[in-house]
């Protein structure tokens, strides 16, 4: 659903915040504490600013599998003959009843003609249903409660086209985190460990340096919510999976499927399930044995994810 009155709402919030800050400064001045109040205001503003943490579960471009570590977190690739696993539990949370919220960032999405919005909505409307045996590979990864991811229906919890203005040409990581927080506000949710926000940037934009940084996507946690930076991977062509299984949109399901699985098993990186070298369940099987997964909403190109119980990459569990 598109919403075009976001800007006035942001303006109201901004004016309210400025009023509160001005009142604080005025009171502090009356008591002779202007300098300390100013410092406190700056500290509070920094506290409420979305804080980038890191880039985890980076999907390297297929053509960049031997690129320098500056463009990816880890170097394992099954295509190059590496070995992975097992994943080890770090004591943090996993997602139990995952809820995925898709945020299509920018009014550029209003003119997208490739069907990406419907493709992604269909993907997540099928994941989690009884037709989905791909997601259940992750169910073996339990947290301290003894529970792992369970699936009792579609994981898609909401979709928003944030088209009040254009997405920035070159969004920094902090901008992407801020857009994830905008999604939280729009959906009116209080994020839990089960929440994923997927920020999908439109064609022609360069979120966090894409496509010149050697990655197709990554996920992170900003202290409030687990979120994914999902660029318009079709802009990178076959380097991010286009036409690798069925059609030009293959990369969207392969790459976002990778991040979805990792966000379930390690939503607050790296406190969940992580291999000894820091890789997550998607990393250990990136671009390996790609295939089609049949869901109630269609057929989608996907990669396997790492299964400790199978001691290898698995497409079903």
Give per-residue pLDDT as tens, 188-202: 999 999 999 999 999
What percent of the chain is predicted at pLDDT more than 90? Answer: 75
Segment 201-207 shows an average pLDDT of: 98
For CA atoms 229, 230, 235, 238, give the dihedral sign: positive
| Ramachandran region, residue 153 (left: φ > 0; alpha: ψ -120 to 50; beta: rest) | left
Q: Give 271-305 pLDDT, tens digit per residue.
A: 999 999 999 999 999 999 999 999 999 999 999 99
Q: Which two tokens stand for residue 233?
A: 């991977």
pLDDT, residue 53, reads 73
Other residues' Cβ atoms within 10 Å of the Cβ of residue 158: 16
Segment 14-42 shows an average pLDDT of: 39
Q: How confident is the model at residue 263 (pLDDT cuts 50, 70, 90)?
A: very high
Q: Where are the domains of the chain?
A: 6-47, 55-314
CA geometry: angle at 130 spanning 264 and 266, to 5°?
Answer: 5
Residue 60: pLDDT over 70: yes
The DSSP element (H or E) to which 176 belongs, if any, is helix 173-187
Residue 242: pLDDT over 50: yes
pLDDT, residue 12, reads 33
Q: Give 129-188 pLDDT, tens digit per residue.
A: 999 999 999 999 999 999 999 999 999 999 999 999 999 999 999 999 999 999 999 999
User: 243: exposed, middle or buried (C-beta count within 10 Å: 0-12, 13-18, 19+)?
Assistant: middle
For tokens 């999902």, the residue is: 230
Residue 253: pLDDT over 50: yes
Question: What does pLDDT average to over the chain?
Answer: 84
Stronger pLDDT, 7 or 108, i.e. the higher one: 108
Residue 56's nearest CA partner among 266, 199, 277 is 266
For CA atoms 203, 112, 197, 12, give the dihedral sign: positive
pTM over 0.85: no
Residue 4: pLDDT over 60: no
Residue 50: pLDDT over 60: no
């Amino acid at each position: 659903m598109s919403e075009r009155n976001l800007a006035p709402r942001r303006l109201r919030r901004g004016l309210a915040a400025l009023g509160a800050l001005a009142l604080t400064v005025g009171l502090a001045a009356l008591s002779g504490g202007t300098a300390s109040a100013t410092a406190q205001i700056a500290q509070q503003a920094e506290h409420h600013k979305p804080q980038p943490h890191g880039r985890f579960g980076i999907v390297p471009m297929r053509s960049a599998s031997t690129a320098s570590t500056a463009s990816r977190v880890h170097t394992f690739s099954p295509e190059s003959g590496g070995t992975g696993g097992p994943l080890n539990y770090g004591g943090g949370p996993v997602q139990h009843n995952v809820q995925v919220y898709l945020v299509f960032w920018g009014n550029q999405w209003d003119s997208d003609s490739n069907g990406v919005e419907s493709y992604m909505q269909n993907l997540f409307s099928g994941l989690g249903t009884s037709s989905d045996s791909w997601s259940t590979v992750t169910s073996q990864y339990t947290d301290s409660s003894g529970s792992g991811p369970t699936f009792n229906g579609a994981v898609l919890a909401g979709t928003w086209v944030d088209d009040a203005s254009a997405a920035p040409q070159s969004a920094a990581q902090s901008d992407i985190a801020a857009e994830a927080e905008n999604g939280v506000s729009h959906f009116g949710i209080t994020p839990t460990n089960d929440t994923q926000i997927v920020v999908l940037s439109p064609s022609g934009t360069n979120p966090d340096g894409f496509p010149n940084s050697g990655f197709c996507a990554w996920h992170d946690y900003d202290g409030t919510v687990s979120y994914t930076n999902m660029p318009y991977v079709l802009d990178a062509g076959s380097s991010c999976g286009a036409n690798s299984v069925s059609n030009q949109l293959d990369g969207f399901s392969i790459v976002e499927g990778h991040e979805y699985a990792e966000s379930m098993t390690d939503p607050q990186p790296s406190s969940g399930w992580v291999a000894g070298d820091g890789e997550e369940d998607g990393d250990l099987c990136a671009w390996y044995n790609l295939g089609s997964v049949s869901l109630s909403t269609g057929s989608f190109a996907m990669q396997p994810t790492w299964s400790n119980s199978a001691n290898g990459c698995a497409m079903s569990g």
